[in-house]
Structure 1
Amino acid sequence: MESPGTWPALRRRWWRERSPTARARSSTWTAACTWRGSEVGGPEEVFGDFAGEAARLGLAPVADPGRVLGRPVEVGGKVLSNRICALPMEGWDADPFGAPTPLTEMRWERYGLSGAALVWGEAVAVSLSGRSHPEQLVLSEENLPGLEALARKVREARVREFGEEGLQGMLLGVQLAHGGRFARPGRAPVFHDSWLDARMGLDSAAPPLTDGEIEGIVEDYVAAASRAARAGFDFVDIKLCHGYLGHEILCARGRAGRYGGSLENRARFFFQVLEGIRTEAPGLAVTFRLSLFEPSWAPPGTKDAPVPFGASPEDPWSPDLSEPLEFIRMAEKEGVTFFASSLGTPYTTPHLVRPAVHPAQGDPEPP
């Protein structure tokens, strides 16, 4: 008898529990995924059809992705077997205390089976109070065995699929995060902005984090990174994107104190975390994922609109990469050798993160 925890069983349960409307939408999508009336085949067949259609239309020749993405590349001082990266994306399937569940383990196992040489594990909260979702993973001491199991499952799956040599060309990391103003249940904004507060439903009277509280969160990051090293991860990413705490600090131009105002002050949080990790876990590589540009949260044309990180002071809805590039240079001087980039915030500028023809309810129209 099939175990209820297997993927086919979980898939059927998911399908049964979906609404009739959602099931119909999925069926329509399946019907649309055909090529000239036949079911879509394997990767080679799809690539061949696509290249043939491009040639018929007179487009530029289509390169075989394997010829480029399959080449080795050096990242973080290690030669990876290919140039494919599994970027961080939370599954929000942890238990109420932030420990992995069987669904979490199943997802991570597929990282190992995927063949991606750079596995950039999902955002894991550095504390229970720093979760951006009640079912986000938390890298606490109590959850350390569960995180060890996730790292082990990735590597075991890779060995099963590619042999022992597959481990030699892989780098496995995890993203460390704090929700900041998106933390659940207690919001923890770095600063107040009338447009952003209204959009997020945040009480403007809620006290922003003090410098002392941010220093305490720095300690949480360092402790979580030390646990990540003990769990067997090769690197940690200090999350600086998508409006969460690290990114919000970089946007805090009008904040007073040690973490606001100048770029040096706004970068202080990251470099304090970096210094602490190198003291407590010296063998662990440290990197970041950075939102290079975030347009102003105010409607275009608003007078004295806020200027987020990567936005132009003269036109806050247009990019100015001088600060992001300077931050990257600062990190490079401190020995950070690789990083990932992104744009915008899913909550305020979803079209920058996941383009769509029609925005979600309440979201701005894409340009």
Structure 2
Amino acid sequence: MAKFSRFNYKTVDELREKIAELNLDIELTSDLSPLARRVKIGGYELPNSLAINPMEGCDGTEGGSPSDLTIRRYKRFAAGGAGLLWFEATAVVPEGRANPRQLYINRDNVSAFKEMLDIARQEGREAMGAGHRPLCILQLTHSGRYSKPYGQPRPVIAFHDPYLDSRAGVSPEQAPITDEELEQLQDSYVEAAILAREAGFNGVDIKACHHYLLSELLAGHTRTGKYGGDFHNRTRFLLETITKVRARVGEDFIIAVRLNAYDAHPYPYGWGVDSQDFTRPDLTEPIRLVHLLKENGVALVSISAGNPYYIRTEVTRPFDTPVRGAGLPDEHPLESVARLFNITRAIQEAEPELAVMGSGYSWLRQFFGQAAAANIARGAVTLAGAGRLAFAYPDFARDLLTRGHLDERKVCIACSRCTQIMRDGGRTGCVIRDAEVYLPIYKSVSNAS
């Protein structure tokens, strides 16, 4: 590992030199034409190969509906021109919400989701032209051990984890969710998917990342019963849920999965990790699962890694400045970026006909496009997703496609303030580039904490 250092590259050549010095497999290209490639997913054709990662704003209403601030965010994303809008984590049951303002789709508010989607699509057409039709996916979730539906921890666990239990408010006496309760939860995913289709989304994401409930089940080596133990049992819930959803929504509705391919968490409590050294990925099982996902009709997989609630948060989001109270990583952020790129490439190469979306690009700032285009051109990924960059610079895709470069005055600076707002219980966005809205929120929740 190389010594941690913040971003300080003025030119792409300077960045290339550092990549070479660290001997990392990150390619950069001046040919950005791959970003404009149209992508076929299911029965849909995306207008380009750029995407918005599911970035939660923690700004829904008490009943789980989108608020004016939620709608504002998706209007900005839609006007930005990305070919795929991946709408943020939306709980399938109220007790599975990660915070009191997390979205929660239900029969009483499906019309509010439809209104948000209609407004966003109209905004996109006005900004990009009548023919602009981004794919719109709604992420469905249960927050598991990170559930805080009323502002205080109400964890739901798949198994006890000595590294995470105390941090999430799990007592030694708490019983894991039962097999019967999991079977009932599958019905909630089905109902949420039906409502998402009714609202007009093109598909849903059965979220299985970042150690939320479905992600944790994949690592359930120590769990007993039909949803724990061997690979077949640990993947059973996800695959059964996909099958049940497909049976109710039809073949033309896209089913996607945002998948942790590497937990960076000690075995036997982590997934995709070397059993002898959890700091090393072992993608044997994740690749095996991706094959099964494709066989079961999943058309789109978004690859992530790590646990943003635990140590080594740089595995998920390479940064310059950590959240309050956290230390600096024992690696250079470019090593964190390269890990995400390499994991994603291994998945894409294992299933070259599957649409695979990658992350980890935001730390590269104005050189996002050069890395994204290179990865697409070399077959390492189908779509490049922007997370924190989209908070800061929602029209990044339009600028890349029409101007051929990003404005370094508008990019994300990896300062972690958007994450800090969430940790402090506030509504989140970019404190630096969208300061009129989010700087007052940041100050108020920081003072309160």
TM-score (norm 2): 0.65
* Residues 99, 116 of structure 1: alpha-carbon distance in 2 compared, 3 angstrom cutoff: same
Q: Who is 1:366 aligned against?
A: 329
Displacement of 1:51 after TM fit? 5.4
Equivalent AA in structure 2 for residue 126 of structure 1 = V
1:169-219: CA deviation from partner (whole Å, max 9, x where unpaired) = x21111000010111142111100222112323212111100011111111
Identity of aligned residues (%): 33
Q: Who is 2:80 aligned against?
A: 114
Alignment partner of 1:290: what SS?
strand
Displacement of 1:63 after TM fit? 3.4
Q: Who is 1:28 aligned against?
A: none
Asked whether the 8 Å contact 2:55–2:87 carries over to 1, the reply is yes
1:236-279: CA deviation from partner (whole Å, max 9, x where unpaired) = 00000011011011011110001101111111111111111112
1:314-363: CA deviation from partner (whole Å, max 9, x where unpaired) = 22332110000000011111122221000101011311112235544554
* Residues 342, 98 of structure 1: alpha-carbon distance in 2 compared, 3 angstrom cutoff: same
Alignment partner of 1:166: what SS?
coil
Please, which of 272, 283, 287 is the counterpart of residue 256 of structure 2?
A: 287
Q: Who is 1:171 aligned against?
A: 135
Q: Distance in 1 between the 2:218 and 2:169 partners? A: 21
Alignment partner of 2:132: what SS?
helix
Equivalent AA in structure 1 for residue 45 of structure 2 = V
Displacement of 1:73 after TM fit? 2.1
1:275 aligns with 2:243: yes
Alignment partner of 2:164: what SS?
helix
Mean Cα deviation higher: 152-161 or 348-357: 348-357
Mapping of 1:333-352 within 5 angstroms?
333-348=295-310, 349-352=312-315
Q: Structure 1, unaligned stretches of length 5 or more? A: 1-32, 36-48, 298-304
Displacement of 1:153 after TM fit? 1.3
Give structure 1 regions of 4+ aligned residues with deviation exceeding 4 angstroms: 51-57, 59-62, 361-365
Equivalent AA in structure 1 for residue 142 of structure 2 = H
Asked whether the 8 Å contact 2:75–2:119 carries over to 1, the reply is yes
Asked whether the 8 Å contact 1:94–1:100 carries over to 2, the reply is yes
* Residues 163, 313 of structure 1: alpha-carbon distance in 2 compared, 3 angstrom cutoff: same
Please, which of 244, 265, 289 is the counterpart of residue 296 of structure 1?
A: 265
Q: Distance in 1 between the 2:138 and 2:120 partners? A: 12
Asked whether the 8 Å contact 1:190–1:252 carries over to 2, the reply is yes
Q: Who is 1:266 aligned against?
A: 234
Equivalent AA in structure 1 for residue 272 of structure 2 = G
1:135-180: CA deviation from partner (whole Å, max 9, x where unpaired) = 100011111011101111121111111222112xx21111000010
Q: Who is 1:318 aligned against?
A: 280
Equivalent AA in structure 2 for residue 179 of structure 1 = S
Q: Distance in 1 between the 2:16 and 2:191 partners? A: 54
Q: Distance in 2 between the 1:251 and 1:56 partners? A: 38
1:271-330: CA deviation from partner (whole Å, max 9, x where unpaired) = 111111112111321010111101225xxxxxxx53411011222332110000000011
Asked whether the 8 Å contact 2:219–2:268 carries over to 1, the reply is no
Q: Distance in 2 between the 1:365 and 1:178 partners? A: 30
Mean Cα deviation higher: 348-357 or 147-156: 348-357
Q: Distance in 1 between the 2:125 and 2:111 partners? A: 21
1:240 aligns with 2:203: no
Equivalent AA in structure 2 for residue 354 of structure 1 = R
Please, which of 29, 54, 69 is the counterpart of residue 88 of structure 1?
A: 54
Alignment partner of 1:74: what SS?
strand
Displacement of 1:79 after TM fit? 2.1
Q: Distance in 2 between the 1:107 and 1:127 partners? A: 24
Kindly name which structure, 1 or 2, has the bigger radius of gyration based on alpha carbons. Answer: 1
* Residues 272, 364 of structure 1: alpha-carbon distance in 2 compared, 3 angstrom cutoff: farther
Alignment partner of 1:108: what SS?
helix
TM-score (norm 1): 0.79
Q: Who is 1:181 aligned against?
A: 145
Asked whether the 8 Å contact 1:350–1:363 carries over to 2, the reply is no
Displacement of 1:62 after TM fit? 6.2
Q: Structure 2, unaligned stretches of length 5 or more? A: 1-6, 21-25, 331-449
Asked whether the 8 Å contact 2:257–2:301 carries over to 1, the reply is yes
Mapping of 1:78-157 within 5 angstroms?
78-157=44-123
Q: Who is 2:37 aligned against?
A: 71
Q: Who is 1:221 aligned against?
A: 189
Q: Distance in 1 between the 2:320 and 2:28 partners? A: 26
Q: Who is 1:22 aligned against?
A: none
Equivalent AA in structure 1 for residue 271 of structure 2 = F
Displacement of 1:53 after TM fit? 7.0
Asked whether the 8 Å contact 2:265–2:306 carries over to 1, the reply is no
Displacement of 1:70 after TM fit? 1.5
Alignment partner of 1:94: what SS?
coil
* Residues 56, 192 of structure 1: alpha-carbon distance in 2 compared, 3 angstrom cutoff: closer
Alignment partner of 2:223: what SS?
coil
* Residues 51, 357 of structure 1: alpha-carbon distance in 2 compared, 3 angstrom cutoff: closer
Pick 1 or 2: higher relative contact order, CA cutoff 8 A, min separation 6. 2
Displacement of 1:55 after TM fit? 10
* Residues 196, 82 of structure 1: alpha-carbon distance in 2 compared, 3 angstrom cutoff: same
* Residues 311, 362 of structure 1: alpha-carbon distance in 2 compared, 3 angstrom cutoff: farther
* Residues 62, 261 of structure 1: alpha-carbon distance in 2 compared, 3 angstrom cutoff: closer
* Residues 142, 194 of structure 1: alpha-carbon distance in 2 compared, 3 angstrom cutoff: same
* Residues 360, 110 of structure 1: alpha-carbon distance in 2 compared, 3 angstrom cutoff: closer
